Structure 1
């Protein structure tokens, strides 16, 4: 039995600002087939046109992925399935996935990434190898996103540097210059604004001009967030959660990303050329909790309730 007690969030919308509301416009959210099954109709939760990423966890049949994509697209949302390199057997399999998403669900977008397994199960080890097949361009995919790591990635750079991560982003920048697809960097979630701002500014200094869709964890119990943060290799910003865990007055309250979002929004307002283009939400505490948080802070809660 847990010794922690978490109070339910208030139903009253939290105070927000026009700056934060504007920053959240155009946000995206991530789901999995098994979590999507629990949502009767995404139109009751999400703003029209929201981009919905579908995470492809190792072991999930492609049939489930395509069915989920087809269902969410039919409800009027942009759908971006994951293409994890390390669980794709070979180029023929990749071509089949692309054809099925396109033919059965009308999908022409994808998040191209290495994937969450440590060792490749087939011919591919990283996102660059998938892009280099030319299969996405051949199929006419209109938007391709790639992964970003504001706090580094120990799987890619075991020595703690950012050398390999930076080399990969430079390759992806060069690829964006030769593809007709729109490209962007979608990042791992972080809990602190200052490292994100420094990383995003360093991208521009190093000639990376791809827009950034910054990963933000939605409202959740503190113990849930810490579990996911450790499992996903979140870097130094994990200290925000650790510090919160030491504060008894905050320990009993669910975490919300208001502080980090407000700080990033303020920086964007003061620096319009800031690399962050949009927010990508990880609903670690549930899709409804995250959707409600966004609706409260963008002033769309009442309108959504009358749909």
Structure 2
């Protein structure tokens, strides 16, 4: 099961300088990618990188931040742009900008219009929050995911460092009749200096929001020895096939540490292979 989870993993990347070169150098084309959108940079860098990586043969899903899309016309143009580039996946979020650029205040409103106007996407991801959201009540979060699930193909969770919390949340989702497969979001093999640089590169307002939402991540990065995804990965992987939840895989937030993250994945695969050989 660990081996399967490692071979079906997906990576999230940032549309920063040298991201394309880093992906080509270190990431196999069998690994699906998502590309985030930041308020400071807007949609254009995300869409541009998604098209270039799709041209290299990667399965790519750019983040569509609803609050950055002005209107139905712009949404239609984005869909056409991605269709022409053979990008057949998206990940729809509200986005962190304080005021919407137009008629889409949240992910649901964009998903509804996308469905009504038509699209070609085979994969539509939405966010899940095992530990809730700092700015939204749990009742609203629960209602929102029920409504968004009608238009989505899968869920990717935000960071949560407690395996039991993630599993319990997934069971509750299934009990409420939401049958979407869930990919558990984990930080990749990222060092603390990189995290600080990435945070600074997001821009002051965006960085403040990022740091506020990721307090537990920062705390763990400054523990003696830093952070490693091993422990959480090993605790959650055996729960993927359990019938009472819809946990189906992992999604690594790489912060563009692609060489280190891919090296971690291959090391884990080698370790599993060695363990299997000893058992035989």
Q: After TM superposition, is the score higher than 0.5? A: yes
Aligned-pair CA distance for 1:69? 1.4
Please say if residues 219 and 254 of structure 1, whose CA atoms lie closer than 8 Å, have aligned partners that are also in contact. Answer: no
Instruction: String of CA shifts for 1:239-293, please: whole Å, max 9, x gaps.
Output: x864785xxxx51x23111111100012235x25531112111013722211211
2:132 alignment partner, one of 139, 147, 152: 152
Moved more, 117-126 or 62-71: 62-71
**1:296 and 2:267 are equivalent in the alignment:** yes
Q: Mark the CA change 1:257 to 1:232 in structure 2 (over 3 Å): closer, same or farther.
A: farther
What does residue 126 of structure 1 align with?
106
Change (3 A) 1:201 1:28: same
Equivalent residue runs for 1:1-307 within 5 Å: 19-35=1-17, 37-40=18-21, 42-60=23-41, 62-103=43-84, 105-134=85-114, 138-157=118-137, 162-173=138-149, 175-176=150-151, 183-222=153-192, 231=211, 233-234=213-214, 238=216, 242=219, 245=222, 251=224, 253-268=225-240, 271=242, 274-284=245-255, 286-299=257-270
RMSD: 2.7
Give SS of 1:189's match. Answer: coil
Q: Distance in 2 between matches of 1:32 and 1:241?
A: 18
Separation in 1, partners of 2:221, 2:30 = 35
Contact kept, 8 Å, 1:211 with 1:275, in 2: the verdict is yes
Evaluate the alpha carbon distance shift between residue 23 and residue 136 of structure 1 in structure 2; reply closer, same or farther with a 3 A threshold.
farther
Unaligned ranges ≥5, structure 2? 200-206, 272-280
Q: Secondary structure at the match of 1:210?
A: coil
Report the 3-state secondary structure (helix = DSSP H, G, I; strand = E; otherwise coil) of the residue aligned with 1:134. Answer: helix
CA contact (8 A) 2:13 2:255 kept: no
Cα distance in 1, alignment partners of residues 162 and 193 from structure 2: 18
SS for the counterpart of 1:201 is: helix
User: 2:55 and 2:212 mapped to 1: Cα distance?
Assistant: 31
Q: TM-score of the superposition, structure 1-length normalised?
A: 0.76
Question: Which consecutive residues of structure 1, in runs of 5 or more, have no partner in the other structure?
Answer: 1-18, 177-181, 301-307
Q: SS state of the match for residue 49, structure 2? A: helix
Shift in alpha-carbon separation, 1:207–1:125, aligned structure 2, 3 A: same
Alpha-carbon contact 1:190-1:234 (below 8 Å) kept? no
Q: How has the CA–CA distance of structure 1 residues 66 and 243 changed in structure 2, closer, same or farther, with 3 Å as cutoff?
A: closer
Shift of 1:49: 2.4
Scaled by the length of structure 2, the TM-score of the pair is 0.83
Deviation at 1:96?
1.2
CA contact (8 A) 2:11 2:254 kept: yes
Which of structures 1 and 2 has the bigger CA Rg?
1
